[in-house]
């Protein structure tokens, strides 16, 4: 079975943080297993799609702050 079409981007997590002027903060957003899975109608179960994924952390859709690659095995 080939990998299905997926949207160019999809939301897998988010965090709301606050920082004052000149401050910086860290936010940890775990990537759930489901972020790398699709529903397989034939099997009636979730199926992992292995490969390299680009993860973006952003303030908004047009204001990306961080880009990294992760590999789903």
Whether the full predicted model's pTM is greater than 0.85, yes or no, is no
- Render pLDDT for 49-64 as a digit per residue (tens, 0 to 9): 999 999 999 888 899 9
Residues 6+ apart with CB under 8 A from 62: none
Give the pLDDT of residue 2: 62
- Render pLDDT for 6-25 as a digit per residue (tens, 0 to 9): 888 889 999 999 999 999 99
| 17 phi/psi in degrees, rounded to 5 | -130, 160
* Dihedral, CA of residue 39, residue 41, residue 43 and residue 45, to nearest 10: 30
CB 44 within 8 A of CB 38: no
| 58 phi/psi in degrees, rounded to 5 | -145, 155
Domain ranges (residues) in the chain? 33-72
């Amino acid at each position: 079975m080939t990998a299905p079409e997926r949207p160019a981007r999809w939301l897998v997590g988010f965090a709301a943080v606050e920082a004052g002027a000149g401050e910086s903060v860290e936010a940890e957003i775990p990537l759930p297993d489901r972020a790398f899975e699709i529903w397989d109608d034939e099997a009636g179960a979730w199926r992992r799609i292995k490969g390299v994924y680009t993860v973006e952390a952003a303030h908004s859709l047009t204001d990306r702050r961080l880009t990294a690659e992760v590999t789903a095995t």
